């Protein structure tokens, strides 16, 4: 392949790997024969040519060569340096951390619902490296993105949620509001049915006795007194959400009237929700 150099650069470790250097060739004369060059044959990058022709010293193993040419462009890493220099395609490694993702840049279309856990995203054409677990926070997601959490609820927590509501989703921070989409509560029946209790719901904050602002539809206490494994579903509520009592508050499972008793069946709460700004 032959192509004219429009721009070329390399990152070098320098002599004895002591000094990091960046070389840039942009068509100006930096050596006796370095005009806007044409790479027409092998050995253009061999250590002798780089040293004598450009006067910049030999390439070193691990150096990165950046080329933007008329025929082709790319990034290459020096693999060996003997009489000739051999290169391999440069493959970036590492993870994309939270600070490297623009706020609201991750939309629902970028999330693989089947293969992704709550802390991971599927790769796409913009994010080329893997994303670290928990690197994508709510601040990085569009308000249109539906988020998901699976929360274990023990029998003791369900029996006790009248006095101590069970946290499902933690508060997202100042000037945010959690908007519930739905909750699916899956009970695996044990040996004893739940008794007593009162109307159950999802609410904002951990106010005891089910006294927080209701965020979901409700289910009667009798619904939970089954003697077989059962799934219970709550949809989004239809009441007002005052900022003073709902903004920057978590979502909790609770009930009114009185505590459930006797039941020993564990549950898993599957929660779908959005985080929206309040300002």
**What average pLDDT score do residues 166-176 get?**
96
Let me know whether 19 and 80 are in one domain.
yes
Stretch among 86-90, 106-110, 243-247 having the lowest mean pLDDT: 106-110
Domain assignment of residue 74, given as a range: 3-89
* Structure tokens given for 152: 């274990």
Stretch among 22-31, 99-108, 141-150, 198-207 having the lowest mean pLDDT: 22-31
67, 89, 111 — which closes off a domain? Answer: 89
* Structure tokens given for 262: 């006797």
- Reported as a pLDDT band with limits 50, 70 and 90, residue 1 is very low
Let me know whether 269 and 156 are in one domain.
yes
Mean pLDDT of the chain: 78
Q: What per-residue confidence (pLDDT) applies to 36?
A: 37
Tell me how far CA of residue 171 lies from CA of 138, 249, 251, in angstroms. 11, 5, 7
SS (HEC) of 94-138: CEECHHHCCCCCECHHHCCCCCCCCCCCCCCCCCCCEECCCCCCH
Let me know whether 127 and 42 are in one domain.
no
Let me know whether 169 and 219 are in one domain.
yes
Split into its structural domains, the chain has a count of: 3
């Amino acid at each position: 392949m032959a192509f004219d150099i429009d721009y070329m650069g390399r990152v070098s470790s320098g002599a004895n790997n002591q000094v990091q250097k960046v070389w840039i060739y942009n068509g100006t004369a930096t050596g006796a024969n370095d005009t806007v060059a044409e790479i027409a044959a092998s050995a253009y990058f061999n250590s002798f040519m780089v040293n004598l022709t450009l006067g910049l010293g030999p390439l070193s193993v691990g150096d990165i060569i950046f080329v933007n040419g008329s025929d082709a462009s790319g990034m290459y890493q020096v693999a060996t340096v003997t009489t000739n220099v051999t290169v391999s395609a440069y493959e970036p490694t590492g993870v994309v951390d939270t600070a490297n993702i623009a706020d609201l840049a991750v939309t629902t279309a970028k999330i693989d619902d089947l293969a992704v856990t709550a802390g991971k995203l599927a790769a796409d054409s913009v994010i080329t490296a893997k994303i670290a677990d928990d690197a994508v926070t709510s601040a990085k997601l569009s308000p249109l993105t539906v988020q998901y959490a699976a929360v274990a609820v023990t029998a003791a927590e369900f029996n006790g949620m009248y006095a101590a509501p069970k946290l499902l989703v933690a508060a997202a921070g100042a000037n945010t509001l959690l908007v519930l989409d739905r909750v699916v509560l899956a009970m695996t029946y044990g040996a004893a049915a739940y008794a007593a209790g009162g109307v159950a719901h999802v609410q904002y904050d951990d106010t005891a006795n089910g006294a927080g602002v209701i965020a979901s539809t409700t289910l009667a206490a009798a619904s939970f007194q089954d003697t077989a494994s059962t799934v219970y579903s709550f949809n989004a509520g239809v009441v007002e959400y005052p900022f003073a009592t709902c903004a920057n508050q978590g979502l909790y499972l609770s009930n009114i009237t009185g505590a459930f008793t006797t039941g020993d069946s564990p549950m898993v709460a599957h929660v779908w929700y959005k985080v929206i700004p309040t300002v």
